Amino acid sequence: MLFEIPKKHESGKNFSRRCVMVKKVAVFFGGKSAEREISVLTGVLALRLIDPAKYAAVPVYVHSDGGFYTSDEAFYLETFKTHPFPLKKFRRCVFENDELLIFAPKKDRLLKREKIDVMLNCCHGGAGENGGVAALSELFSVPSASPSVAACSVCMDKEWTKLFLSAAGIPVLDYVVLTREEYVRRGALALKDVKKKGFPLIVKPASSGSSIGIAVIENEEGLKKATEEAFLYGDKILFEPYLENKTDINCAAYRRNGKICVSEPEAAFGDGVYGFKEKYMKEKPRSDSGDTADKSAARTPLDEEEIGRIKAYTSAIYRRLETLGVIRVDFLKSGENLYVGEINAVPGSLAYYLFCERLIDGRRFLSDLLEEPFSGAKRDVCIPETGVLESVATGGKRGFTGIRL
């Protein structure tokens, strides 16, 4: 049977009472994204860490074909290492209001209905992180323990992020935006404003995470090649100045009992380019000379004033996003200057490690996230009946009579 509540001997006391009280959590992960594998790691971690005494985790794997699938096998990382992917072990599922409908593989026979109490988004990149999963929650009025559609949209597009941060008075690096349409139309002329910034530069896709597609452009000769490679990952790219002797710093925030909790900042990376391989493949950073450097030696300690500024900026960003769930803010420190590089609405491993010393402490952290949508006073938004349709008929120059659209 799919998604059994843990057996009595596994979960401790008062099993029958918990069977009634347990909340069902739909954990979304995977997706049509270059970050799918990172999302699998976050999703499986969440499925295994969710407290079975309080919740029943329901995996919702978003396959590369865009479909939703579920299976008991989704709780095991080894399942996703299998090639080709064992889709026959999964069941297709769809949402209908607040229920997940699970179908048998043959003849699309309805196998099971799962009433979902809360959603948790573990999708990195693509339609999962850009607000797509959040939209499901809002459309079907299912509480979400993850950031909202608006917050995801602002965080996913790096240009929108910079506009949002600038309006909030939070420092960002100067930048130039280039779209594929403009580059195709104008060719080399489209790079004129980029060249004015000088070299070296960083180029990055505007809507790609996990540092995918990021590159350093040392001189004008490498500009065209780096630009076209960045466009492989999206239709809009950004150019920023490359900072020497900088440090990458992470800080996260979430809401617990209505209050914003901010982590201690962590110096994640030293001088060099914090690319995908450096983040996830255990490679050392690339320094200005192209050589690898000792990551720990490259870290710059933060003084109390810098720690205070980072935490204040993180709290202000979270408050202005007006959201729930956890976000991670990535800072760049260069000399005395501090900049926000980007905001992650679905950070890797949900950034539990910035709040927890031990993996097992992540269980309490996840419980905090999952309970927050149910805390505080809630009220339904008023949707008035306007009566407009009663006096409208089809026809006329505008297509309708009795109203001016």
Which pLDDT band holds residue 271 (cuts at 50, 70, 90)?
low
Residue 77, classed as helix, strand or coil, is helix
| Residue that finishes a domain, picked among 193, 221, 241 | 241
Q: Looking at residues 236-240, what average pLDDT do you find?
A: 97
Q: Looking at residues 261-267, what average pLDDT do you find?
A: 96
Element (H, E) at 230: helix 223-230
For residue 307, the enclosing domain spans 245-345
Structure tokens, 292? 């690898």
CA pair distance 372, 392, nearest whole angstrom: 44
Query: So what's the pLDDT on residue 12?
Result: 36
CA pair distance 252, 155, nearest whole angstrom: 14
CA pair distance 338, 305, nearest whole angstrom: 11
1 found inside a domain: no
Alpha-carbon torsion angle 294, 310, 198, 166, nearest 10: 160
Does one domain contain both 219 and 297?
no
Whether 277 has a pLDDT exceeding 80, the answer reads no
156 found inside a domain: no
Whether 306 has a pLDDT exceeding 80, the answer reads yes
The CATH number covering residue 231 comes to: 3.30.1490.20
Query: So what's the pLDDT on residue 244?
Result: 87
Query: So what's the pLDDT on residue 286?
Result: 43
- Rounded percentage of the chain residues whose pLDDT exceeds 70: 86
The whole model's pTM is what? 0.87
CA pair distance 313, 265, nearest whole angstrom: 11
CA pair distance 170, 239, nearest whole angstrom: 19
Does one domain contain both 233 and 249?
no
Element (H, E) at 306: helix 304-321
Q: Which of 20-29, 276-285, 366-375 is least confident?
A: 276-285
Burial 220-249 (b: 16+ CB within 10 A, else e): eebbeebbeebbebbebbbbbebbeebbbb
140 found inside a domain: yes
| Model pLDDT for residues 322-359, shown as the tens digit of each residue | 999 999 999 999 999 999 999 999 999 999 999 999 99
CA pair distance 130, 152, nearest whole angstrom: 5
Query: So what's the pLDDT on residue 47?
Result: 97
- Rounded percentage of the chain residues whose pLDDT exceeds 90: 72
Q: Looking at residues 161-166, what average pLDDT do you find?
A: 98
Q: DSSP secondary-structure letter at 273?
A: B
CA pair distance 315, 300, nearest whole angstrom: 22
94, 138, 258, 372, 393 from 380: Cα distances, Å: 25, 13, 18, 17, 32
Structure tokens, 379? 């009220």
Phi and psi dihedrals of 18, rounded to 5?
-70, -30
Whether 89 has a pLDDT exceeding 70, the answer reads yes
69 found inside a domain: yes
CA pair distance 330, 317, nearest whole angstrom: 12
Rounded mean pLDDT of the chain? 87
| Model pLDDT for residues 206-220, shown as the tens digit of each residue | 998 657 889 999 999
The identity of residue 324, as a single letter, is L
Element (H, E) at 118: strand 118-121
Does one domain contain both 265 and 232?
no
The CATH number covering residue 58 comes to: 3.40.50.20
| Residue that finishes a domain, picked among 128, 145, 162 | 145
Calculate Rg over the CA atoms of the chain.
Answer: 24
| Model pLDDT for residues 166-222, shown as the tens digit of each residue | 999 999 999 999 999 999 999 989 999 999 999 999 999 999 865 788 999 999 999
Whether 231 has a pLDDT exceeding 90, the answer reads yes
97 found inside a domain: yes
Whether 91 has a pLDDT exceeding 90, the answer reads yes
Which pLDDT band holds residue 17 (cuts at 50, 70, 90)?
very low
Does one domain contain both 88 and 27?
yes
Count structural domains, the chain: 3
Backbone φ/ψ region at 12: left (φ over 0), alpha (ψ -120 to 50), beta:
left
CA pair distance 375, 357, nearest whole angstrom: 26
Does one domain contain both 109 and 139?
yes
CA pair distance 177, 84, nearest whole angstrom: 39
In the numeric block, the tokens 């209905």 are attached to 113
Whether 111 has a pLDDT exceeding 70, the answer reads yes
Query: So what's the pLDDT on residue 255?
Result: 97
The CATH number covering residue 290 comes to: 3.30.470.20
2 found inside a domain: no
Structure tokens, 401? 């009579």
Q: Looking at residues 66-94, what average pLDDT do you find?
A: 94
Structure tokens, 77? 């990382």
| Residue that finishes a domain, picked among 345, 364, 383 | 345
